[in-house]
């Protein structure tokens, strides 16, 4: 064992000196390789952290949202449905929600207007004429607490709301375009019927009962559709997965270019390198020794690129808020959330990235070297 | 004792440009002697030496070393024989550029993985023996022809081989350096090494230190040609 380790040390020593002897070639390769790992790892880390963030936020959302449907489209929910639901075993609370979207032509952005649900932890229902807004709206409209926000209502009347508070920065991913206001203000602003809600939410304490409750709701109110929290989580997952896939496809060409570059650089042995292999064999190195030495050369290069690329990606995503990918991965809205993802590293993801970057490179370099290394070394005599 | 029996070597066999470099050589080489293979360019000296040194295999015929048949050994065992038995000094030295003299000398021992300190001491001792200790940490591309030659000899001797094979060792040296080299080869014989040299330089094959001269012509021993 000691002999084996010492032998590897000699081979690594030689590989390091071989890398240092052709600095131009290897630095160029290291740079491109690091860039590819950096981009792939950035997308992976960022999407993963978005998923996690969304899951954390949704963890506090209600278990079931009940929407009324008409002709397959979302319709307003009659308030009397709250009574028609009656008492279902397992449901700990139920209430109607008021929320909607408003397009602000001044900044060409959509806001989400919402009446805080009862017992809302952060701010409760704002007083008449007051609003609580997300950081995105505040940034875009240049608002601070105490300022007034003027909007034109559904009937064309001007409405001025006083900013009573700003939503906390930590929830910006989901609250950047959010505007909280009182129920009366909401109804007046949108000319929303007094006997209607946007939807109804139900809280179910035991997660195992959620599906059963949803079934009962479908039977009791056939024109409604229950949306479960787990379904929303799945949708988020799919959306982020889809966006991640989209970026990967865009990056596919670049990765392919890298593979060709790496193959050419690493596998295409120069005359000098072929001669060097011949010399090593003629002075007593076995084919296996040459292959092991070249394996170490590839492994040192690819591992360095992998760790450098991954660390840079980590810094890019968690310290610079993934500045390069924000527009694609966070959303399509005008109000980009400004948020810092929570640092999080997934072992399986690291292993996947490692497998798809380090492994192919190492194999790509070994095959042509093997072809050279198995030839008789007498060529160096000529 | 090295025995060659009807050894032949053809390059590009079966093609239009096939070349018979060695056409049937039968020869016994005594140990602890300086044997010089001479003959004009293309006579098969280098090809024959590369087969004796287990760098390549004969197309037909047999080569054996102290009764062990070399020509039929699998590649791995051939390498082991080459590593433990032979040391090579090539015409163009074949030192690896970018490495120091010391690193080049130590290189043949890497696959054997000896203790690093021991190996370094051995390499330094060899360099001192050949007057190269001051150049140990220089890159090989900075060496003169004579210095590169001596570095190559040190490298050939690092694994303490029984047989040293030198291909045209004086091709890149002036007369004074050539004589010095012949003296060095003689010293190796005194140390019990077998020395096989390919050369068409009269300074080499007419030297008093040479025990035997084998003349080749057109891939055959001159006496058979």
Condensed to tens digits (0 to 9), the pLDDT of residues A335-364 reads: 555 556 667 777 877 888 788 777 777 777
Range of the domain at A38: 2-57+235-381
Give Cβ neighbours of residue B85 (< 8 Å, ≥ 6 apart): B54, B65, B161, B162, B163
Domain annotation covers residue B68? no
Residues A184, A273 within the same domain: no
* Cα A299 to chain centroid, rounded: 29
According to the model, what pLDDT value does residue B37 have?
94
pLDDT for B118 beyond 90: yes
Confidence of residue B7 (pLDDT cuts 50, 70, 90): very high
SS3 string, chain A, reads: CHHHHHHHHHHHHHHHHHHHHCHHHHHHHHHHHHHHHHHHHHHHHHHHHHHHHHHHHHCCCCCEEEEEEECCEEECEECCHHHHHCCCCCEEEEEEECEEEEEECCCCEEEEEECCCCCCCCCCCCCCCEEEECHHHHHHHCCCCCCEEEEECCCCCEEEEEEEEECCHHHHHHHCCEEEECHHHHHHHHCCCCCEECEEEEEECCHHHHHHHHHHHHHHCCCEEEEEHHHHHHHHHHHHHHHHHHHHHHHHHHHHHHHHHHHHHHHCCCHHHHHHHHHHHHCCCCHHHHHHHHHHHHHHHHHHHHHHHHHHHHHHHHCCCCCCCHHHHCCCCCCCCCCCCCCCCCHHHHHHHHHHHHHHHHHHHHHHHHHHHCCCHHHHHC
What's the domain range around B202?
Answer: 29-54+83-221
Assess if residue B40 is contained within a domain.
yes
pLDDT cut 90: percent of chain A above it: 16
Higher pLDDT, residue B114 or A258: B114
Structure confidence at residue A3 (pLDDT): 82
Residue A175's DSSP bridge partners are: none
Q: What is the structure's pLDDT at A196?
A: 92
On whether ipTM exceeds 0.95, the answer is no
B168 inside 8 A of chain A by CB:
no
Q: How does pLDDT run across A144-169, given as a tens digit for each residue?
A: 999 999 998 878 888 999 999 888 87
Residue A157 is predicted with a pLDDT of: 87
Q: Given A167, A202, A227, which residue is the final one in a domain?
A: A227
A248 and A322: one domain? yes
Both A153 and A99 in one domain: the answer is yes
Residues of A within 8 A of B160 (CB-CB) are none
Q: How far apart are CA A350 and CA A243, in angstroms?
A: 19
pLDDT tens, residue by residue, B50-108: 999 988 889 999 999 988 888 888 888 888 888 889 999 988 888 999 899 999 999 99
Q: Which residue in chain B is spatially nearest to A273 when comparing CA positions?
A: B96
Q: Do A185 and A287 fall into the same domain? A: no
Confidence label for A330 from pLDDT (cuts 50, 70 and 90): low
Is B153 a domain residue? yes
Q: Is residue A46 located within the same domain as residue A162?
A: no
Average pLDDT of span A205-214:
85
State how many domains chain B has: 1
Q: Flag if B56 and A282 touch (Cβ within 8 Å).
A: no
Chain A residues in contact with B96 by the CB 8 A cut-off are 276, 279
B107 CB neighbours in chain A (<8 A) are 14, 280, 283
Q: Are residues A247 and A165 in the same domain?
A: no
- Residue A213 confidence class, pLDDT cut points 50, 70, 90: confident
* pLDDT in the model for residue A228: 86
**Are B110 and A282 an interchain contact pair (Cβ–Cβ within 8 Å)?**
no
pLDDT band at B9 (very low <50, low <70, confident <90, very high): very high
Averaged pLDDT score across all residues of chain A: 81
Q: What confidence score (pLDDT) does residue B128 get? A: 93
Domain co-membership, A268 together with A204: no
Task: Say which CATH number the domain at A217 has.
Answer: 2.40.40.20
pLDDT band at residue B180 under the 50/70/90 scheme: confident
Say yes or no to pLDDT of A332 above 70.
Answer: no
A164 and A248 both lie in a single domain? no
DSSP assignment of B118-155: HHHHHHHHHHHHTT-GGGTTSBGGGS-HHHHHHHHHHH
Considering the domain boundaries, does residue B76 fall inside one? Answer: no
Q: pLDDT per residue over A102-135, tens digit each?
A: 988 888 888 999 998 876 655 578 889 999 998 8
The per-residue pLDDT for A43 is 82
Q: Which of A283, A285, A293, A296 to mutate to test the interface with B (most CBs of B within 10 A)?
A: A283
| A to B CB pairs, distance under 8 Å | 85
Give B-chain residues touching A11 at CB under 8 angstroms.
Answer: 110
Contacts of A374 (CB under 8 A, 6+ apart): A287, B75
Kindly determine whether residue B110 and residue A281, on different chains, have CB atoms separated by under 8 Å: no
pTM listed for this prediction:
0.69
Q: Which domain CATH number covers B194?
A: 3.40.50.300
Are B9 and B63 contacting, i.e. CB atoms less than 8 angstroms apart? no
Residue of A335 and B199 predicted with greater confidence: B199
Residue A381, pLDDT above cutoff 80? no
Model pLDDT for residues A164-187, shown as the tens digit of each residue: 988 887 667 667 888 999 999 999
In a domain, B35, yes or no: yes
């Amino acid at each position: 064992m000691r002999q084996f380790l010492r032998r590897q040390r000699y081979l690594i020593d030689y590989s390091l000196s071989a890398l240092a002897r052709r600095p131009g070639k290897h630095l160029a390769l290291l740079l491109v390789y690091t860039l590819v790992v950096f981009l792939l790892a950035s997308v992976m880390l960022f999407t993963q952290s978005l998923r996690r963030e969304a899951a954390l936020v949704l963890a506090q959302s209600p278990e079931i949202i009940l929407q009324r449907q008409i002709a397959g489209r979302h319709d307003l929910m009659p308030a009397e449905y709250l009574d028609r639901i009656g008492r279902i075993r397992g449901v700990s609370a139920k209430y109607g929600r008021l929320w909607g979207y408003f397009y602000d032509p001044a900044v060409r952005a959509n806001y989400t207007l919402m009446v805080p649900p009862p017992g809302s932890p952060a701010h409760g229902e704002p007083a008449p004429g007051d609003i609580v807004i997300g950081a995105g709206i505040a940034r875009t409209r240049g608002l601070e607490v105490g300022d007034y926000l003027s909007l034109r209502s559904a009937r064309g009347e001007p409405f001025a709301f006083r900013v009573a508070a700003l939503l906390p920065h930590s929830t910006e991913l989901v609250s950047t375009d959010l505007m909280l206001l009182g129920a009366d203000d909401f109804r007046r602003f949108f000319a929303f019927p007094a006997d209607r809600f946007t939807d109804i939410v139900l809280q179910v304490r035991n997660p195992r009962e959620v599906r059963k409750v949803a079934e009962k709701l479908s039977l009791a109110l056939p024109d409604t559709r229950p949306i479960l929290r787990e379904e929303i989580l799945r949708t988020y997952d799919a959306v982020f997965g889809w966006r991640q896939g989209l970026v990967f496809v865009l990056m596919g060409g670049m990765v392919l270019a890298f593979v060709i570059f790496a193959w050419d650089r690493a596998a295409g042995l120069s005359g000098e390198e072929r001669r060097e292999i011949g010399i090593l064999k003629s002075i007593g190195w076995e084919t296996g020794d040459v292959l092991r030495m070249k394996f170490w050369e590839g492994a040192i290069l690819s591992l360095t690129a992998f760790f450098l690329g991954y660390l840079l990606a980590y810094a890019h995503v968690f310290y610079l808020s993934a500045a390069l990918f924000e527009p694609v991965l966070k959303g399509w809205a005008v109000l980009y959330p400004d948020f810092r993802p929570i640092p999080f590293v997934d072992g399986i993801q690291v292993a996947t990235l490692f497998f798809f970057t380090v492994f192919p490179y190492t194999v790509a370099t070994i095959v042509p070297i093997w072809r050279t290394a198995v030839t008789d070394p007498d060529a160096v005599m000529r | 004792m090295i025995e060659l029996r009807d050894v032949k070597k053809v390059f590009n066999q079966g093609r239009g440009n096939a070349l018979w470099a060695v056409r049937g050589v039968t020869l016994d080489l005594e140990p602890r002697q300086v044997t010089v293979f001479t003959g004009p360019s293309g006579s098969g000296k280098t090809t024959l030496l590369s087969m004796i040194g287990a760098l390549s295999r004969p197309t037909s015929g047999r080569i054996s070393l102290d009764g062990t048949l070399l020509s039929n050994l699998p590649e791995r065992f051939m390498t082991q024989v080459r590593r433990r038995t032979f040391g090579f000094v090539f015409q163009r030295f074949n030192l690896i550029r970018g490495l120091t003299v010391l690193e080049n000398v130590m290189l043949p021992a890497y696959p054997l993985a000896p203790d690093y300190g021991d190996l370094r001491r051995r390499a330094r001792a060899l360099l001192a023996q050949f007057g190269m200790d001051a150049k140990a940490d220089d890159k090989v591309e900075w060496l003169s022809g004579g210095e590169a030659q001596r570095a190559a000899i040190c490298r050939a001797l690092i694994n303490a081989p029984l047989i040293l094979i030198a291909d045209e060792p004086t091709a890149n040296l002036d007369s004074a350096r050539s004589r010095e080299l012949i003296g060095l080869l003689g010293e190796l014989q005194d140390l019990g090494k077998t020395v096989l040299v390919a050369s068409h330089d009269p300074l080499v094959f007419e030297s008093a230190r040479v025990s035997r001269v084998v003349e080749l012509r057109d891939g055959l021993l001159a006496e058979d040609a």
